[in-house]
Amino acid sequence: MALLAVGLLGAFALAVFVAVGGFVAVEVLLIAAVSPFSLLPLLVAPGLAVLVKALCSDDDRAPKVSLDASSAKVWALVRSVAADAGAREPTSVHLDAGVAVRLLSRRRLVIGVPLLAAVNPDQLRALLRTAFLQDIRFGRVIAWGVRVLSRARDELARARGLGALPRPAVRAFTGYYVRLAERVWASRDPVDVQWEREVLEELWERFLRRYAALGLRAGYLPSRPMAGFRRLLDAELPLGDEPRASALLAAESTLDQAFSDLLTDEQRAMPRADWDTLADLSQRHAVTRSAREVLGGLSLGDALDRLASGDLASLAKRGAADVVASVRQRLSLVVTAALADARVVHWRMAWPGPPEMVVGDPGAEEITAALDAAAAASPEVLPLRMVLVVAGVSPEYRPVPRAAVRG
């Protein structure tokens, strides 16, 4: 299989350069013949340019977070595994936010922080061994092929217009090649580690999408992102008292430093908040935006006056089949936003799952009953007005988005 992988990589490179040579030859002949079809070959030029760039470039820069001598336990494990695998020890060890252990050119080892947070030292040893074994018996060539093809696939995924023409073929070939490379190394990666890596990749993707990005719209990021990831791991895959590989690091904050590699410069400048504060800020931001849309410039008191007069249509969504149900749902958004501003309602993180709403005084049952009465076929808004008075919400309340506090 290793020979097949090397052969496929050579065939891919040969096909690209043959295509480039054929493109140049056809273009020269068509121009020489003053043919009206001389512009047709230019359709494939952008896609070929991406492929050539991927083959010829060596964008193999190590992540910024490197482990120095203070992380002696990690270095000791790395040197021990390298010696057992019969490979030279790496010149440097770096951390990134990927779910992998990989060996870059110039013998720079990169370890993903999700792995350190999830696996035990023995499992990390197995993953390190796999990375070092990829450096022998065609391993370096195959690993280079995975990087090159993945880079070409990613570049074509961002390409627009004619530059995206080779995208389906390259995506399919890359998928096949990566699966083949994994089969080449599969016998060197214990089954339990393979299974945990698959589960971990899914959890990491969910964490980034649902949790780490939770406060982005409100302009905030988590102050301790990897602590949140461990909470998700504890909820989905209980770790028990078994030591994690992250205990080998000199400082726990190193994990969060590596996580910042995922952020843009603009995101790095955002203020940070703990997870419960982040949940509250993000949900308040979302419900406030929805409440502004519902009221359309009215105050909460104005909206209740309209309901009291029987004008349900003014609060219902345009074209709603069930006006009463629409009013109930939209009025609930407005009242929730008002109660959140009054700090009667707040949110906290729930692992796993969406943020959990916590209701103070007046209680959830009283608020629900008042909303049901106000959003009925014959509205009774007095109970809701009383709830709002007790909560300290003014009839002049209008939802106003709150900007993130800097500094």
Residue 263: name the closest of 221, 227, 233 by CA: 221
State the amino acid at position 22 in one-letter form. Answer: G
48 has pLDDT over 60:
no
Residues 95-112: tens digit of each pLDDT: 988 888 888 877 889 999
- pLDDT-derived band at 250, boundaries 50, 70, 90: confident
Q: Is the pTM of this model over 0.75?
A: no
Sign of CA dihedral 144, 145, 146, 151: positive
- C-beta neighbour count of 36 within 10 angstroms: 8
Contacts of 384 (CB under 8 A, 6+ apart): 304, 335, 370, 371, 373, 374
Residues 259-305: tens digit of each pLDDT: 887 888 888 889 999 999 999 999 999 999 999 999 998 999 999 99
CA dihedral 250, 255, 257, 260 (to 10 degrees): 170
Indicate the pairing of strand 108-112 with strand 101-104: antiparallel
Sorted by where each begins, the domain ranges of the chain are 65-140+190-271, 275-391
The rounded distance, in Å, linking the Cα atoms of 334 and 395 is 12
Indicate the pairing of strand 221-222 with strand 272-273: parallel
The rounded distance, in Å, linking the Cα atoms of 184 and 154 is 23
127 or 333, which is more confident? 333
CA 315 to chain centroid, in Å, comes to 36
The rounded distance, in Å, linking the Cα atoms of 340 and 317 is 23
> How high is the pLDDT of residue 405?
40
228 or 135, which is more confident? 228
Residues 18-35: tens digit of each pLDDT: 565 555 555 445 445 544
As a whole number, the mean pLDDT across the chain is 82
* Phi, psi angle pair for 343, to nearest 5°: 65, 25
Residue 15: name the closest of 42, 61, 47 by CA: 47
Residues 297-307: tens digit of each pLDDT: 899 999 999 99
Q: Would you say how long the chain is, in residues?
A: 407
Tell me, letter by letter, the H, E, C secondary structure of the chain.
Answer: CHHHHHHHHHHHHHHHHHHHHHHHHHHHHHHHCCCCCCCHHHHHHHHHHHHHHHHHCCCCCCCCEECCCCCHHHHHHHHHHHHHHCCCCCCEEEEECCCCEEEEHHHEEEEEHHHHHHCCHHHHHHHHHHHHHCCCCCHHHHHHHHHHHHHHHHHHHHCCHHHHCCHHHHHHHHHHHHHHHHHHHHCCCCHHHHHHHHHHHHHHHHHHHHHHCCCCCCCCEECCHHHHHHHHHHHHCCCCCCCCHHHHCCCCHHHHHHHHHHCCHHHHCCCEECHHHHHHHHHHHHHHHHHHHHHCCCCHHHHHHHHHCCCHHHCCCCCCCCHHHHHHHHHHHHHHHHHHHCCCEEEECCCCCCCEEEECCCCHHHHHHHHHHHCCCCCCCHHHHHHHHHHCCCCCCCCCCCCCCCC
The rounded distance, in Å, linking the Cα atoms of 313 and 311 is 6
- pLDDT-derived band at 187, boundaries 50, 70, 90: low
Work out the average pLDDT over 382-402. 92
The rounded distance, in Å, linking the Cα atoms of 167 and 150 is 12
* Phi, psi angle pair for 57, to nearest 5°: -90, 160
